[in-house]
Structure 1
């Protein structure tokens, strides 16, 4: 039975990846910061076989301990301070976790494997935000980076340190340069979920407006469930390589609003959207669209479904969630049971 360790397992991608790997027969371990983390319970409920390990990307010894406990064949480093807007307010913390955390994870892997890094395959979650002020459209694996946020800068460091460990120590280490990928599990602070949940709440009479910044920004949006399959495929190849994972289509926030509000029966969203200058980024990324030709040719990967289907699915999930009886079926506001045997100390 193959073994995998996922950092950031409580996030959107981590949960989808844990489910994907468990279905393939993996023994799945997840790194969680603090055993009172309330986001651990949904992971335990979604993937009953998962084992949770306590660790922190700011603490190298805890990472070595987690690797020694899990003894993984594959490591997926998904953990990050992932909300771009917050990275300006917490630039140092973003750098510590999203940037230096990658270095600590690779160094922990070097210690764990006693310098035989190639025997454990490593995936780093890179980001389209590294392209920032884009030099070409669409963006592919050879497009130069020009990050426009502390998050993008930190991700660029993480990307290049992964390349460095591959070239310096012979690590089987690769990065997935993932463009925006969404789902009903996306955090409420991200614009896609902010819009889909806001539209659902407005349709149900629970709020009147949504506050947004730049509605003309363009992004390449796909489904997170598809993208975790690409992560796995990267680690199944004979040689490590970095890949752009994207749909190749671009849409504006206006397009997102059109689809979400139409899904709840509202044709004109303008009266329900407040433009807030404070929500506009200090340095905007205007046009991101990826060229995933390499992944399609070498990995046999391609996205399923389209952008309208994705947004309608998210709206439907938010409507269902908001109309459930008033209780907490997912247990998201309660910490996981510290006596649960799936916690490994």
Structure 2
């Protein structure tokens, strides 16, 4: 008797990042076998996956990590051929916009060419799979909001340009080779797992440290930039829904609600009972050579066709992140005092 349960195997690049870790949790909860590639490093860089390994249901037994890199074409071919994934989620990138101005060539190699290497690996392995490309609101750049799937692109950073290459290569492989390949154009989405150099996490970590008396000032760039901020765990649900569609397509995932960096700063500091104006200082080093003034997404298509909608607004997001960073700092300080007592 044959097993009626369909084989569900996911291959995830960027699995150790914010989105990758939440996506791995989601897929494992849905019964997938999940494979991710991680770069070899002298230090462990899998802390965002700790929640999976601590799961009492032992879902980590269906999680497999492989050393690899999107700059290694042959390694990607071998991995795809060996794993035979039914779904591929390409999240890996040099994703810091400001940093992309400092290292444009590396950004182009990883964020842009890394995509075509993975698409070619799928084609070379001759497997039937569905491919998700992590696209970004930075594609729109200086194009006025609201931005939808039909809004013209005008990227304003090496990161945005590299992502535009990835976007169109995904469309090209869909149209040229019949690959079930889709773009998710995700607007800003944050969480306590956000990298510490990204502005929202930089803000909430500073709030925790200032409240604890460990930091005096927070230096930021453009406070007037308008963004559409959502909650990362909700956005990875949207990624999964995109690949469950019978036909591949491109979708904007966003909240549709604008807020300035100043708004986010105010909400984060006030949640901890602090007046942000006493602590926040301007530093031009954090401004971009070419600014993106406003990114506000129109998620109408995703709501209609995917049944996807966000439930966490930017104010609640700021509170979640501040609470998490305060708790993390408390845990760190408590651990430090315990180690000192043990000496």
TM-score of the superposition, structure 2-length normalised? Answer: 0.91
Deviation string for 1:244-288 (max 9, x for gaps)?
00000000011111110111111x211201100111100000010
Deviates more, 1:221-230 or 1:50-59: 50-59
Q: Gapped runs of 5+ residues in structure 2?
A: 1-6, 54-59, 337-343
Aligned: 1:302 with 2:309: yes
Go from structure 1 to structure 2 and tell me whether the alpha carbon gap of 1:293 and 1:42 turns closer, same or farther (over 3 Å shift): closer
Determine helix, strand or coil for the equivalent of 1:175: strand
Q: What displacement does 1:45 show?
A: 4.8
| Counterpart-to-counterpart distance in 2, 1:270 and 1:177 | 34
Partner of 1:85 in structure 2?
A: 98
Distance in 2, Cα, partners of 1:211 & 1:278? 9
Structure 1 CA distance for aligned equivalents of residues 282 and 67 of structure 2: 41
Partner of 1:40: 46
Distance apart, 1:42 and its partner CA: 3.9
Counterpart in 2 of 1:332?
none
Aligned ranges 1:6-85 → 2 under 5 Å = 6-34=12-40, 36=42, 38-43=44-49, 45-47=51-53, 48-49=60-61, 50-85=63-98
Query: Is 1:160 aligned to 2:173, yes or no?
Result: no
Q: Match of 2:3?
A: none
Contact 2:131 2:243 in 1 (8 A): yes
2:142 equivalent in structure 1: 133
Choose between structure 1 and 2: higher helix proportion.
2
Kept in 2: contact 1:181–1:227 (CA 8 A): yes
Per the alignment, do residues 126 and 271 of structure 1 end up closer, same or farther by CA in structure 2, a change over 3 Å counting?
same
Helix, strand or coil: the match of 1:324?
helix
SS at match of 2:301: helix
Which of 323, 328, 336 matches 2:330? Answer: 323
Bigger drift between 270-279 and 122-131 goes to 270-279
Using CA pairs under 8 Å that are at least 6 residues apart, name the structure with larger relative contact order, 1 or 2: 1
CA offsets 1:292-319 (integer angstroms, 9 cap, x no match): 1000000000001211111100000000
CA–CA distance in structure 1, aligned partners of residues 46 and 313 of structure 2: 30
48-57 or 155-164: bigger deviation: 48-57
User: Is the 2:229–2:313 Cα contact (8 Å) retained in structure 1?
Assistant: no
1:108 aligns with 2:108: no
The 2-side partners of 1:141 and 1:150 are apart by: 21
Question: What residue is the counterpart of 2:204 in the other structure?
Answer: 196
Q: Residues 70-101 of structure 1, C-alpha deviation per residue, up to 9 Å, x if partnerless?
A: 21000000000011110001100000000000
1:69, CA displacement in angstroms? 2.5
Count residues in correspondence.
322
Superposed CA RMSD: 1.3
Q: What residue number does 1:265 align with?
A: 273
Determine whether 1:177 maps to 2:180: no
TM-score for both structures, normalised by structure 1:
0.91
- Within the candidate set 269, 290, 299, 2:297 is matched to 290
Structure 1, unaligned runs of 5 or more: 329-345
